């Protein structure tokens, strides 16, 4: 497997794991387990950094004129990276919304 393909798979693997953690965080918040939700966000961030670092390596290679070529696999990796970033934002918003709902429901009781 070529070097570029390995980097693409490293990006996809890291940010895919991050996205899964962010989705699990939403589910934990929905169940009222906010400590777990926050831990899952942190876990997702760690995985995201792995993918992001691989992506940064590609950008550095290109900046140094080391000749990267854009392939469908690299485009897919970029798409997955951006998707994971969006999922984190959505997860944080859902966690905040679930906390607010729980607080309002507690006031009604």
Known binding residues for Mg(2+): 79
Of the candidates 52, 55, 76, 98, the residue annotated as catalytic is 76
3-state secondary structure labels for all residues of the chain: CCHHHHHHHHHHHHHHHHHHHHHHHHHHHHCCCHHHHHHHHHHHHHHHHHHHHHHHHHHHHHHCCCCCCCCHHHHHHHHHHHHHHHHHHHHHHHHHHHHHHHHHHHHHC
Closest CA to 21 of 51, 43, 36, 50: 43
Q: Is 55 a residue of the active site?
A: no
User: What residues act catalytically?
Assistant: 76
């Amino acid at each position: 497997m070529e070097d570029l393909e390995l980097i693409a798979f490293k990006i996809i693997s890291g940010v895919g794991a991050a996205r899964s953690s962010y989705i699990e965080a939403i589910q934990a918040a929905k169940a009222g387990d906010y400590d777990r939700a926050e831990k899952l966000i942190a876990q997702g961030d760690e995985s995201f950094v792995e993918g992001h670092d691989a992506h940064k390596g590609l950008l550095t290679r290109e900046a140094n004129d080391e000749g990267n070529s854009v392939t469908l696999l690299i485009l897919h990796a970029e798409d997955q990276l951006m998707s994971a970033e969006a999922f984190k934002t959505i997860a944080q918003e859902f966690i905040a919304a679930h906390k607010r709902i729980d607080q309002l429901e507690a006031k009604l009781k």
